[in-house]
Every structure is written in C-alpha cells, then in structure tokens.
Structure 1
C-alpha cells in the first residue's frame, strides 16, 4: 500500500505549527539565528567548568588543519606528553607528516592486496563495492598507528615538517584514489585473463612506485636518518647525530606498544561484553597489527581511563565529536542544546540503537588528559583536541560524563590496568566483524 502526502495532510500540519504563539516566536528566532543558537542551554555552559580534580601536565595543542589525521595526532600527543615530561621539553611535537606519508603508502598497498585477494568476487557484490568505495583516506585506528610506529619509528616535527598537502589533504586524497581505482581495473583485468602471481606482483610494484612518487612530491620524502638537536626548559643544549626513526623511538619514547589494548563500548546485541572483536579488511600495514577490541560496559571503560590518568598517562580515545558539541565553548554535553523544547519534538534513541541504525559511530580521536571526580565518581573530563588553539579553551574541551556514556566508543589503555578477568578475555581470539560494521569506522 502506498500512502502519499496529501494537501489536506499538509494543511493540518501547518495549522498545528502556527496555532501556538510560542511556536511562531520560536520559528522566527530559528529562521533568524539558526537552531543551535536558539536551543543553546546557558546553564549547561556555566556548569561545564574547565577545572579538574585530576589532570596531566600537557601544553600547547597541535593542529591537524584541513585533514582527517586526528587519530595519529592524538596518538603522537600521548607520546610527546611523555617526552615533554621526561626530557623537560616545552611544546615539543613529533612529525605527523612522517607518519602520514607511510600510512598513505601502506594503505595503497593494503588496498591493492585486497583487490587481488577479491579478484574473483563479483564487481557489484557488497564486499568489492565496499573495498572500492574508499581506496585510502586520512582516517585511521589505534592499531593502524601501532603498525606504522613498529615498522617506521617516529621523527621530530623538525625532521619532516608539514606541507601544503599534508595540512589540506582533499586534493591529494582525490588523486591517490583516482590512481588506485585505475590500478584496481588493471589488476582485476589481468587476473581475469589468467595473469600469474609473479606478473600481478610485478605490476603492483610498478603501481606502488607511482604512489611513492605522488607522496614524495606532495609530502616530502621521509628521512632515513636525522640529527636531533634541542634545548630543554633549563636551556641546556643536547645533540644526537645520524639517528634513525626507529632508534629515536626506542631511545626517546620507548613504550612497549604491545602492552596497550583497545577497549570499546558497543552495547548492541550482536557484541556481548567480555569478548574481543576484529574487523575484516580494516588496516594499513599488510603484515602489521590486527585490529582488535575488547568490548566492556561504560563503567568499566571509565574506570580504566581514570586509572591511567591517575598513573600520569594520557588516554587516546575515539568518539562521535559532532554530536551535542560546540567548538567555541569547547563543550561536549548532552544538555548543551535543548532541541526537544525548541522544536517541540522527542528524540530518544539509545546508544545501541544509534549504532544499529546508522545514527552514530566513532568519527574523531582525541586525548583524555584529566577528570573531575566527586566522591570518587567522574562528572566531567578534560579533552585535548587537535584543532589548534582558536577553538575551545586554548584547544582543550570539557566533556560531561553523561556525554561520554552516549558518544564515546573507544579508549586505549595499558594492560596493567585491566582486571585479571579482562586480561584473560583479551587473550581470546577475536570474533570477526564485517567490513561495514559500525566498529569498523575510522577516526578523522
């Protein structure tokens, strides 16, 4: 049965809207100022104080500019927090562009390998369509970052600074994806005509050579060795000559990244708590870390985050930053906008329903650097973003605990903070999720 929209139905809706004087006033206010300006809750802004009972000393925030590299910015921020503290540095940054170069190069190879692996799958099937939808992009996941650092190390920002295309990535991404889709056509055609594995691999290497050239011209070529020179807060000068990126990581950061685990909160029926999960065809380094998550309830997730902050270590986390947040105030809070009263509607989806019905996924990664505890319970969190100092409180945001419950999906913590039961759960083989599962979303 088909039910269209009749003129009488529209007239009834119109009368309902215009019958009340408050409705007309709100309509005029929204038309002139926009929904958010009218729905903004002043009381929520006052309540979200940028002061915290427990916080980590950090410094000036970084700026990813017009790029989707938040996940690597956030991860590198956790590294330079450690370096600033241990080596008495001030506002030191590691090179995001260096990690970005190798991420895009590895993603290109990962895509081409996926094309070869699915060469016999139908072109219009869901899997191949999904693979071809985005050959590579800026976004990423914690385990993808770990794979890059293990293979390539890190360098100071001075050794490989930002470029125009690293800070404004849209055109570079468009060119890379056009080239990679052309390569996919060639590889699938070669495979269908009986090309040997040797022939296909040789062709793929030639394709990767072109990708390397594009990346080098756009981002610069990553250094194999460099000189590390700096002055600390006491104005003492240090020099370390001809050091490799891998040596630099081991000497100046030295974290055992295998000791860090991804904890998620996905309260959907298909993902029971206490089990681990991975996502098919999600990654960058072919031989790198498998994406792996341990699903827990929110109380457990927050308890783990608090333990790490109180251990003086910041926490990488992923959330849906666009929901009920404001860049100018630097606030993420469920009470920030009263859309229901403003528009006269009800909005009542649960976190699980938002995941199942495409209403929310992880879109952005940042760093938890503080928490405000009242009688041992959190009511707000300090968040270091990577959008520069002109947003929020010099780049920092305050996140209400209720907002965290609804829109935070992932944190990364050291295994030492896990209970014995969680450690045992982590060691189990992960359940495979489809590539299009909401837990396969990438932070940008």
Structure 2
C-alpha cells in the first residue's frame, strides 16, 4: 500500500514539474513575442498609423445609401446628416433615390440665426452655423425641405461660413440694429422697429445670394417647402428619439424628457451598441453626434480608432469628465451610421460604418470606419426616427 502511494506521489510530482516547465516556456515565449511586438510598435513614429492594426472593410450588415454629399466650408454637418438620413429613409421606403438640398437648410439656418441675433441684448453679434440634432430637426419641421434641383442660390454661398465676407457684413448689420433697438424704450415701438429690420435683413440676403422662389416643380407637380415635406417625408410628423450616451451610467436606459417633438433618454454605451445594431437590422440609419479628433483619423483609409495609432500611454485621450475639465471635448460633428461589424465569437460590436458629408475624396470614398474604442470614447448622442 505504501509503495503504491509513493508511486502515485512520484507521478504527481513529475506532472507538476512538467506543468511548471511548460508554463515557464510559455511565459518566456510570450515575453519574447511582446518584446518583438513592442519593437515593431516603437519603430512607428508617434501618432502614425500602426501597420499591424487589423483593419478590414468587412461589415456584418450595411444599408444601401444614396450619393455622398459635401458640406464644403459650411459648418452645418447637423443639417447634412439629417438630409442624408431622410434620403436613406426615402430609398428604403420607395426604392428610389431623392436628392435633398442641405444647402437650402443651411441658408435658412443662417437667416434664422441672424434674426435671433438681432434681438439679443448682450451685445453678442457672432454667428455660428453649428447646432444640435434637436435644434436642426426643429428647423426642418418649421421651414420644410426642398429638393436639390430647386435651390438656385449661387456657389458663393458655400465659399465660407457661409462666406467670410457675407458673415462679416451681416454681423456689422446686427451690431447696428442692436444699438438702434437699445435706444428705444417703448416696447411697441421697439417691436415695430424689429419687424422692419427683419424685413430689411431678408432683402439684404436676397441681394447678396439671390432670390429663392417659394414654389418649385417635382415630378410634374407644384410644391412649396411645406407641402413637399408633408407628401414625401411623413415620418417628420413623428417624434425623434434622442439617446444621450452616459460614459459613467448608473442605469442602462432611462427616459429623462418628453416634448411634442422628441423623447430624450439617458443610455449607457452597451445599450447604445444594441440600439445601433437593432436599427441597422431594420434597415434604418442612425444619426450620430460625436467629438471628431483628426489626430485619430487616417484620412486615406477612413480608419477612426485610438488603438490604430502609435500613441504613448500618457498621451492617450482622457476620459470624458477630464476632457470636459480641461476643455478638450470640442470638435463636435454629426454623421450617419449605416453599417456595423460584430465579432463572430463574442458578438460584440467591432466597428460601425460612417457616412460623412465631406465629399468622396475624404476617407474611403466618403465613408469612414469608426472602431468601437473611438465610438465609446467620443460619442455624444445617437438619434433615431420611427
């Protein structure tokens, strides 16, 4: 009996020694491989794209899209994104392409922003064409849409923001009107003066950029912006769902607000991934607002990733709360998510396909490949329509 125990013990000791040896060899080989990998990594200049980064243009699911648009120097990505979203909706619903004029929306936004600036009392005359997804959606509901063929304003409108010369002249005009209105004490007289200046501003816009006819023809029928929108885009009668992505969420999903035009939710990043996948599976684009970081985007390939670039640990992007603390959370941009790729084993999101509005010469023929690390770090919100 003792001999059998000793024999079993010897076998157990021998197996243990072999296991320890195997682990040691594995550890040595792993360290050697890591050193080799580090050597490759260090050979790449800081900030450069890592050649060993595993990038593909493969996607689990993609949605057919209409043409790529180009906002040029207009800072109205939010309006171009909505225009692309609605074009994709129309294509899904009818099987036909339609070309909407995001330039018309930009023109209206510029005009509406100028009117709003006239009534300010804090001597702020600066104009900005940026806006949130909610504000731009409300602008579309208020003023309607036009097809590209009906917007006959000249190309000089897109030559600046919307053109440096026009912008500066209008800001000068706004400053003079603000001074004029500040001297009028009687509320009724002030309101009448304001209405006169709005009419004058309308005339100045027409003189600078040209007149825009109210009516236009589509498929042999006469429309204006409102009737065209009602007939071709009935989904705009519905509410949008705005999902504010929480980087330190306590709950996965929570409704925080509801109005006549929108439902607003707080959502964590994993729930956002599930939402994106669900929408794309239904053939619907997803409106994405995020921080665009040019240093983490490879323009020729369209790769958007943190891990794809050689960046020392202490130079990596800060978490959102720290970016906000040091005012590094800028560079807001709006695009459309039109596809996704899943890891075949874990079923987790690998990357999303982005339709941008910077023309076909940017990225992968106008499209970008946003990897999960970039999306989860810089996302602000996602928006859906029924």
TM interval, short-chain normalised: 0.7 to 0.9
SS at match of 1:372: strand
Which of these two proteins has the greater Rg computed from alpha carbons?
2
Paired residue for 2:324, among 318, 331, 355?
355
Q: In the alignment, what sits opposite 1:201?
A: 191
Q: Which runs of 5+ in 2 are unaligned?
A: 1-43
Q: Match of 2:363?
A: 392
Which of 129, 132, 136 does residue 138 from structure 1 map onto? 129
Alpha carbons of 1:290 and 1:227: their partners in 2 closer, same or farther (altered >3 Å)?
closer
**Hey, what's the Cα distance between the residues in 1 that align with 2:347 and 2:133?**
29
Check 1:290–1:413 CA distance in 2 against 1; reply closer, same or farther (3 A cut). closer
Pick from 310, 315, 328 the counterpart of residue 286 of structure 2: 315
The secondary structure found in structure 1 opposite 2:141 is helix
Q: CA deviation at 1:350?
A: 1.1
Specify whether residues 248 and 209 from structure 1 end up closer, same or farther in structure 2 by C-alpha distance, changes over 3 A only: same
**Are 1:89 and 2:99 matched, yes or no?**
no
| Alignment deviations for residues 223-254 of structure 1 (CA, whole Å, 9 cap, x no partner) | 321111xxxxxxxxxx2321122111121121
Equivalent of 1:401 in 353, 357, 372:
372
Deviation at 1:257, TM superposition (A): 4.7
* Cα distance in 2 between the residues matched to 1:187 and 1:268: 46
Equivalent pair of 2:248/2:268 in contact (CA under 8 Å): no
Determine if contact 1:264/1:296 at 8 Å carries over to the other structure. Answer: yes
User: Helix, strand or coil for the counterpart of 1:84?
Assistant: helix
Where does residue 339 of structure 1 map in the other structure?
311
Cα deviation, 1:368-406, whole Å, max 9, x if unaligned, reads: 000112243210000000010011111000000111000
Matched, 1:253 2:233: yes
8 Å Cα contact 1:56/1:313 also seen in 2: yes
Report if aligned partners of 1:380, 1:399 keep a CA contact under 8 Å in 2.
Answer: yes
Q: Aligned equivalents of 1:277 and 1:389: distance in 2?
A: 38
Provide the rounded CA distance (Å) in 2 between the counterparts of 1:388 and 1:368: 16
**Counterpart of 1:43?**
52
Deviations 1:333-361 (A, max 9, x none): 012322317xxx44462122112321113
Alpha-carbon distance in structure 1 between the residues aligned to 2:284 and 2:74: 26
- Is 1:56 matched up with 2:36? no
Whole-Å separation in 2 of the counterparts to 1:177 and 1:292: 35
Whole-Å Cα distance in 2 between the matches of residues 265 and 70 of structure 1? 20
After TM superposition, give the deviation of residue 291 of structure 1 in Å. Answer: 8.7
Q: 1:109 to 1:133 in 2, by over 3 A?
A: closer
Quote the RMSD (CA, aligned, Å): 3.1
Deviates more, 1:258-267 or 1:51-60: 258-267
SS at match of 1:147: helix
Rounded to whole Å, the distance in 1 between the matches of 2:336 and 2:103 is 19
| Partner residue, 2:139 | 148
Q: Does 1:177 align with 2:171?
A: yes
1:274 and 2:268 are equivalent in the alignment? no
Q: Is the Cα contact below 8 Å between 1:48 and 1:400 reproduced in 2?
A: no
Give the alignment's TM-score, normalised by structure 2. Answer: 0.79
2:186 and 2:252 mapped to 1: Cα distance? 43
Q: C-alpha displacement at 1:266, in angstroms?
A: 4.3
How many residues in Structure 1 have an aligned counterpart in Structure 2? Answer: 340
> Is 1:244 equivalent to 2:224 in the alignment?
yes
Could you tell me which of 75, 89, 100 is aligned with 2:106?
Answer: 100
Could you state the TM-score of these two structures normalised by the residue count of structure 1?
0.69
Structure 1 residue 317: Cα displacement: 1.0
Alignment correspondent of 2:87: 80
Q: Structure 1 residues 265 and 182 mapped into 2: Cα distance closer, same or farther (>3 Å)?
A: farther
| Distance (Å, rounded) in 1 between the aligned partners of 2:316 and 2:95 | 49
User: Is 2:197 aligned against 1:188?
Assistant: no
Deviation at 1:81?
1.1
